[in-house]
Amino acid sequence: MLKADNIEVWRGQTQVLKDLSLELTPGVITALLGGNGSGKSTTLYALSGLVPLKAGRIWAGDVQLTGVGPRKAVAAGIAHVPQGREVFPTMSVQDNLLAGAATVTSRKLRTERLERVIATYPLLGRKLKLAAGALSGGEQQQVAIGRALMTNPKVVMMDEPSAGLSPAMVDTLIDTIRRLGDEGLTVLLVEQNVGVAMHVAAEAIVLKAGAIALHRPAGELLRDKSVLAAYLGH
Ligand X SMILES: Nc1ncnc2c1ncn2[C@@H]1O[C@H](COP(=O)(O)OP(=O)(O)OP(=O)(O)O)[C@@H](O)[C@H]1O
Question: Under the rule (CB under 5 A), what is the footprint of Mg ion?
Answer: 40-41
In this structure, are residues 133 and 144 in contact, taking their beta carbons and an 8 Å threshold?
Answer: no
SS3 117: helix
In this structure, are residues 62 and 234 in contact, taking their beta carbons and an 8 Å threshold?
Answer: no
Pairing between strand 2-11 and 186-190? unpaired
Nearer residue to ligand X within complex by CB, 36 or 103: 36
Least CB distance from residue 64 to ligand X, whole Å?
23
Least CB distance from residue 136 to ligand X, whole Å?
23
Nearer residue to ligand X within complex by CB, 83 or 152: 83
Contact of residue 151 among Mg ion, ligand X, none (CB under 5-8 Å per partner type): none
Contact of residue 120 among Mg ion, ligand X, none (CB under 5-8 Å per partner type): none
Using alpha carbons, select from 228, 209, 208, 230 the residue that is nearest to residue 218.
228
Q: Residue 60: exposed, middle, or buried by beta-carbon count in 10 A (0-12, 13-18, 19+)?
A: buried
Nearer residue to ligand X within complex by CB, 39 or 138: 39
Contact of residue 11 among ligand X, Mg ion, none (CB under 5-8 Å per partner type): ligand X
Least CB distance from residue 129 to Mg ion, whole Å?
33
Contact of residue 38 among Mg ion, ligand X, none (CB under 5-8 Å per partner type): ligand X
Using alpha carbons, select from 192, 206, 181, 116 the residue that is nearest to residue 152.
116
Least CB distance from residue 118 to ligand X, whole Å?
31
Nearer residue to ligand X within complex by CB, 37 or 133: 37
Least CB distance from residue 106 to Mg ion, whole Å?
35
Return the sign of the alpha-carbon dihedral for residues 66, 99, 120, 131.
Answer: positive
Residues that bind ligand X (CB under 6 A): 11-12, 14, 16, 34, 36-42
Contact of residue 16 among ligand X, Mg ion, none (CB under 5-8 Å per partner type): ligand X
Contact of residue 12 among Mg ion, ligand X, none (CB under 5-8 Å per partner type): ligand X
In this structure, are residues 110 and 98 in contact, taking their beta carbons and an 8 Å threshold?
Answer: yes
Nearer residue to ligand X within complex by CB, 34 or 161: 34
In sequence order, which residues have a C-beta less than 8 Å from that of residue 77 and are 6 or more positions away? 60, 151, 152, 153, 154, 155
